[in-house]
Structure 1
Amino acid sequence: MAGYSRVDASGIARWWRNIDRVTLGCVGILIAFGYILMLAASPAVASRIGASRNMFIFKQVFFLALAGVIVLATSYLSRSGIRKLALIGGILALGATFMTLVHGIEIKGARRWIALPMMSVQPSEFLKPCFAVITGWLLSARRTKVLPGNIAFPGLLLAFGAFALILALLKSQPDIGMLSVITMVFMTQLFVDGLKLYFVGLGVAIMAGAFAMAYVVFPHVQSRVQRFLHPDVGDHYQIDTALRAFGNGGLLGRGPGEGRVKDLLPDAHADFVFAVAGEEYGLLLCCGIIMIFALIVLRTLLKLTREDDPFVIVSTAGLITGFGLQAFVNMGSTLHLIPTKGMTLPFISYGGSSAISVALTIGMVLALTRHQVGRSDIGRYRDVSYNDQSVLERNAQ
């Protein structure tokens, strides 16, 4: 693809010239790490539950391959295409999330999954990217005078209505972790959209009160917070085992296949895959994974400083906040920096719903931040012929 001419008018050539290839490359590296760590962690987990040793590997090969295709296909869409995709996907995800309350699979007291052939789906995973784009759309449209009587579009009110609906659904499952992430995404978007600081402070106070109420109402939340704050309270087997794995790995790790944590933790291939990376490949690989996630987030935020479309700025800020928070929650809970929360590490942990949802998120980010060719860009090509210049002008239009 590097050989495409700057005046090549084909859609793929224009996509390749304007896409953020650094972020796309980082996604490819994370998917490669996902394959490597799934080969390391999943056979022991599958054997422990009496399944074929390669069951999780075969499934994740398919999930990650599909995730890669979704990233590429979604990044090819126009900005209006992203809006339509988010609207349709959001409606379907809301309906499916409601269905979990009626026909969902109950696991550990929560109804978050719908059973499908060969896999289970967590619909709330798809609410994150779709909600971020829809909210960005509504907030950017609220400055438009579109209603009779020169009345502004009630985008802010509709955004709060959508958030309240999602809040009610996730509380009913219950899924406090997912609700916390979506709440942070929404607060970030409101702040980026220009919410005054005293309203930000009020929002933070409301969130703190909501978390305190969750601590009182939900026993599993209380248990996790208590175990995090008081090492002598409750069962600390999983987190203690994960921390020992990091210590055993040291700087360079014990070597591929030599780790023991995958034989001891039931979720070594999912929630605690970062501990497997630390034990078998060491501190250096863990730091590399953290740097890749940080590069994707920071590079996207820096690109937004050069953007002037409010829809792109607010939507992308929400998308990349959700992506970064998910990575932080997984790695932070594995390292006992925050209370444990069952959240996957993007592109690395096992899980079909998570892989596809994260792929949709990054695909949307790449599509929204893709450079839009305008007339100011045409003048840069001073060495092209008149005919080629005409091609560029037609493309810009």
Structure 2
Amino acid sequence: MKYILNRLRGDKVIWAIVFLLALISFLPVYSASTNLVYVIGKGSTIGYLIKHLAHLFIGFIIIFWIHKIPYHVFRALSIIGIPIVIALLIYTLAQGKTIGGANASRWIEIPFVGIGFQTSTLAFAVLMIYVARYLAKISNKEYTFKDSLLELWLPVFAVLIFILPSNFSTTALIFAMVCMLLYIGQYPLKYLAVVLGSGVAILLLFLVLAKAFPDSKYFSRVKTWEKRVERFVDNTPNEDDYQIEKAKIAIASGKVYGLGPGKSVQKNFLPQSSSDFIFAIIVEEYGFVGAFVIVFLYMLLLIRFVINAQKAPTLFGKLVIIGLGFPIVFQALVNMAVAVELLPVTGQTLPLISAGGTSIWMTCVSIGIILSVTKKEEEVAQDEAERKERDEALQRIIDREIELSSNDDTNDNNNPNPLEPILNQ
């Protein structure tokens, strides 16, 4: 353990918060999984717990591996990544996966592994790094809106357009975070206003097309969005009432100290009790105290992101921390706001706590990159020394193998037939 701790680089407070959030997630996920086991009759509680443990274990491996990589490497990778994620989004949308007649083209299945992967989460991370790279590139340079139209906005809107048909909440979240990053990166407000207007116009066009082609699978989610907004604004009854009401009952039942670990009642009625509405289960079992701890940890994480962004040695590093860190906290706030009915149902998970592989892994990718930026000069030098030592050790092994191979060839030439001495007798 000490060996591993000595090799953790970057902000130790971020490491601690991430570990605490992951640790806190086990009991709520284990408790909420009984809904899937005893109500739906799928799997076992231990099986879901082991699955969640495996997701988190892989996630921490991802963090450890990525945080060792110099963060400037991701600057170049984002350029390569944009066309790759756009191609993945097109493939995801085109596969035509539907559930109950509605468009559910959010996941693709990784071949030979059988694991579902939500491509929009990967696109989110790649796009934020790409925008940070662009802002760092044009810093202190004269440019016009036309200059940024092709290099910046074409990739941004390409990503958003291919996510929109199946996932409006993620599209809105990405667009909001991109605009936030551009504002912080001092992108001209007049240009940003044009983009905001264009975004609204594109959304309206999408809705008009949905009305014109109501039977198209690409517009099937629009009815769900309309119902959720109508229900939130006018209290029009729909299927989301059931989830919201059960979540509110769970939160009200928790009071100050909660019912106790595993004693939630509403977990048996909430369909997404281990993912989208896990915050309601946490409040029911651990009360106001549990809710306060969760909110406090996310706020502390936000403060550490702000502090490290100020300390980052380059503009690109500052923007990467903001672009990847703020969405994690913002997504958590959205998830909690939905549970208490401050926002319509969105389907956003609680980062590092909700069950789910893709959401955990992509959050861990973002955390790993942020930790790479927060590394101090001596830690960077230490990583370089370790890398150099590994390379030298590998080179010694290769040289030794070559030497042994040369010796074997020499022996074979000196004695081409090992049976000749025996035959000569």
| Range class of TM-score, shorter chain | 0.7 to 0.9
| Pairing partner for 1:360 from 350, 365, 375 | 365
CA–CA distance in structure 1, aligned partners of residues 319 and 148 of structure 2:
13
Show the 5 A alignment for 1:1-397.
Answer: 16=8, 19-54=10-45, 55-87=47-79, 89-103=81-95, 105-107=97-99, 108-116=102-110, 117-143=113-139, 157-171=150-164, 173-207=165-199, 217=210, 218-235=222-239, 236-373=241-378
CA–CA distance in structure 2, aligned partners of residues 334 and 86 of structure 1:
34
Say whether the 8 Å CA contact 1:86–1:134 is kept in structure 2: yes
Say whether the 8 Å CA contact 1:128–1:322 is kept in structure 2: no
CA–CA distance in structure 2, aligned partners of residues 165 and 227 of structure 1:
31
CA–CA distance in structure 2, aligned partners of residues 291 and 313 of structure 1:
23
Structure 1, residues 14-57: CA drift from partner, whole Å, max 9, x if none?
x64x5100011000001111222111111222332222223322
CA–CA distance in structure 2, aligned partners of residues 32 and 367 of structure 1:
23
Partner AA of 2:159 in structure 1: I
The alpha-carbon distance between structure 1 residues 308 and 92, as it changes in their structure 2 partners (threshold 3 A), is: same
Structure 1, residues 154-211: CA drift from partner, whole Å, max 9, x if none?
666412121021022113x321111111111211121121123444455555555666
The alpha-carbon distance between structure 1 residues 137 and 62, as it changes in their structure 2 partners (threshold 3 A), is: same
CA–CA distance in structure 2, aligned partners of residues 329 and 211 of structure 1:
21
CA–CA distance in structure 2, aligned partners of residues 288 and 159 of structure 1:
39
The alpha-carbon distance between structure 1 residues 336 and 209, as it changes in their structure 2 partners (threshold 3 A), is: farther
The alpha-carbon distance between structure 1 residues 265 and 118, as it changes in their structure 2 partners (threshold 3 A), is: farther
CA–CA distance in structure 2, aligned partners of residues 254 and 28 of structure 1:
25
Say whether the 8 Å CA contact 2:78–2:129 is kept in structure 1: yes
Q: Which segments of 5 or more consecutive residues in structure 2 lack a partner in the other structure?
A: 211-221, 389-425
CA–CA distance in structure 1, aligned partners of residues 259 and 18 of structure 2:
26
State the SS of the aligned residue for 1:305.
helix
Say whether the 8 Å CA contact 1:104–1:115 is kept in structure 2: no
The alpha-carbon distance between structure 1 residues 202 and 103, as it changes in their structure 2 partners (threshold 3 A), is: closer
User: Displacement, 1:85?
Assistant: 4.7
Structure 1, residues 252-303: CA drift from partner, whole Å, max 9, x if none?
1001111111100111011001111010111111111111111111211122
The alpha-carbon distance between structure 1 residues 200 and 84, as it changes in their structure 2 partners (threshold 3 A), is: closer
User: Displacement, 1:219?
Assistant: 1.8
CA–CA distance in structure 2, aligned partners of residues 74 and 365 of structure 1:
9
Structure 1, residues 342-363: CA drift from partner, whole Å, max 9, x if none?
1111011111110111110111
The alpha-carbon distance between structure 1 residues 176 and 287, as it changes in their structure 2 partners (threshold 3 A), is: same
Partner AA of 2:65 in structure 1: A
CA–CA distance in structure 2, aligned partners of residues 89 and 324 of structure 1:
24
The alpha-carbon distance between structure 1 residues 156 and 25, as it changes in their structure 2 partners (threshold 3 A), is: farther
User: Displacement, 1:321?
Assistant: 2.3
Q: What is the Cα-based RMSD across aligned positions, in Å?
A: 3.1
The alpha-carbon distance between structure 1 residues 220 and 196, as it changes in their structure 2 partners (threshold 3 A), is: same
Say whether the 8 Å CA contact 1:268–1:276 is kept in structure 2: yes
CA–CA distance in structure 2, aligned partners of residues 204 and 313 of structure 1:
24
User: Displacement, 1:132?
Assistant: 0.8
Say whether the 8 Å CA contact 1:270–1:351 is kept in structure 2: yes
User: Displacement, 1:232?
Assistant: 4.3
Structure 1, residues 111-132: CA drift from partner, whole Å, max 9, x if none?
1111344432111111111111
CA–CA distance in structure 2, aligned partners of residues 3 and 126 of structure 1:
31
Partner AA of 2:34 in structure 1: P
Say whether the 8 Å CA contact 1:138–1:156 is kept in structure 2: no
Say whether the 8 Å CA contact 2:35–2:271 is kept in structure 1: no
Q: Percent identity?
A: 24
The alpha-carbon distance between structure 1 residues 88 and 104, as it changes in their structure 2 partners (threshold 3 A), is: farther
Structure 1, residues 300-338: CA drift from partner, whole Å, max 9, x if none?
112222335121122221111221221121111111111
CA–CA distance in structure 2, aligned partners of residues 214 and 282 of structure 1:
42
State the SS of the aligned residue for 1:27.
helix
TM-score by length of 1: 0.82
Say whether the 8 Å CA contact 2:335–2:349 is kept in structure 1: yes
User: Displacement, 1:372?
Assistant: 3.3
State the SS of the aligned residue for 1:111.
coil
TM-score by length of 2: 0.77
Partner AA of 2:274 in structure 1: H
Q: Which segments of 5 or more consecutive residues in structure 1 lack a partner in the other structure?
A: 5-11, 146-150, 379-390
How many equivalent pairs are there? 363
The alpha-carbon distance between structure 1 residues 156 and 287, as it changes in their structure 2 partners (threshold 3 A), is: farther
Say whether the 8 Å CA contact 1:86–1:129 is kept in structure 2: no
Say whether the 8 Å CA contact 1:316–1:365 is kept in structure 2: yes
Say whether the 8 Å CA contact 2:78–2:126 is kept in structure 1: yes
Partner AA of 2:75 in structure 1: R
